[in-house]
Amino acid sequence: MNGSMQKKVLALHDLSGFGRSSLVPIIAVLSAAGHQCVPLPTAVFSTHTAIPDWVTTNLTDAMQGTIDQYDRLGLRFEAVYAGFLGSAAQIDRVREAAERLKAADGITLIDPVMGDNGKVYDTYTPEMCTRMRELCAIADIITPNTTEAAILLDRDPRSKPQNREQALEWMQALHREYGAQVVLTGLDYERGRVGSGCLSGGTAVVSLHHRIDRYYPGTGDLFASVMLGMLLNGQSLAASCEKAGAFVQDCISYTAAQQTNTMHGVQFEKLLYQLVGGDHGT
C-alpha cells in the first residue's frame, strides 16, 4: 500500500443510534486512526438489539445502488470491512462490494457476527450461518469470537479453547478451512484474563489482558476497528491485535468506574486520543 495516501475503508454495518455499537464506534475509531471511513449502512436501528423495543429500517435495497454508484465513480477501498448482517441478500451485497470495490492490494475484513457466549443469535438461521461461511471464504482476515469460530468449524457453539494449545489448534483449523488470516477473540482460558489470538503467515500469537468483570455490547466492533486502523497504519497483525485489546480494556475500565448502565456501551470517546499518532499520511 502507498503509505503517503490516506486509506479509505468501506464499512458495511448497521447504524445503531444509541448504545455505542456498530458504525458509531467504527467511524470514530477509524477516523481517529487517520483513515477515511465510508459507511454503507445495512440497516438503521434506534438502539442496538440488546436494548428492548428497538425499531429498525432495512437498507438492503439501497446497498446495491450505493455499490453501483461507487463503482461508476471509480472508488476503490484499501479495506472492505463487514460485520453484523441481517439477511442472505446483505451477505450477497458484501461479497459484491469486496469483488467490485476493493483496491488491488486491499483487505477484506469479515467479522462473522453470529453469536456470543455459546449461543447463536436468534436472527441467524442455519442458512445464514452457511452463507456466512461462504463470505469468510473470500476474506483476507476473519475475526470470530469463540462462539462464532465454533459455528464456522461446525463445532458445538458452547465449546471453546481450554488452553493455549487448543487456541492455536482452533486458529489453524480456521485458516485451513477459510484460507484467511485469523483473529480469534474472547479467549478466557486463564483465570482473570481475557484476550485474543492471531494467526498470520504461519505465526500464531496470543495476547491476554486483565479481565474486568463487566459485559458491554459493542466491544467486538471496537476491537476489530482498532485492529484494522492500526493494520492500515503499517503495524503487524499481532501488534494491531495487542493495541486493540489494550484499548478495549482501557475503555471497559474507564466506563466501569463511571458506573453507567452496561447496555449503554463503553465510553470510548474520551480515550480516542490513544489511537492518534504515527504516520497517517497526508
Mean pLDDT by 10 residues, the chain (282 residues): 76 97 97 98 95 96 97 98 92 96 97 91 86 95 96 95 97 97 96 95 92 91 97 96 95 96 97 80 39
How confident is the model at residue 114, as a pLDDT? Answer: 92
CATH classification at residue 228: 3.40.1190.20
Cα(160)–Cα(165) distance, rounded to whole angstroms?
Answer: 12
Q: Is residue 141 part of a domain?
A: yes
Total structural domains within the chain = 1
Our CA angle for 255, 205, 35, nearest 5°, is 55
Cα(98)–Cα(81) distance, rounded to whole angstroms?
Answer: 9
Question: Per-residue pLDDT tens for 185-195?
Answer: 999 999 999 99
How confident is the model at residue 123, as a pLDDT? Answer: 79
Q: Is residue 266 part of a domain?
A: no
Q: Is residue 22 part of a domain?
A: yes
Q: Is residue 2 part of a domain?
A: no
Q: Is residue 273 part of a domain?
A: no
Domain span including residue 132? 8-261
Q: Is residue 269 part of a domain?
A: no
Cα(127)–Cα(130) distance, rounded to whole angstroms?
Answer: 5
How confident is the model at residue 1, as a pLDDT? Answer: 44
Q: Is residue 223 part of a domain?
A: yes
Which pTM was predicted? Answer: 0.94
How confident is the model at residue 4, as a pLDDT? Answer: 59
- 251, with CB counted inside 10 A (0-12, 13-18, 19+), is buried
Q: Is residue 93 part of a domain?
A: yes
C-alpha cell at 47: 438502539
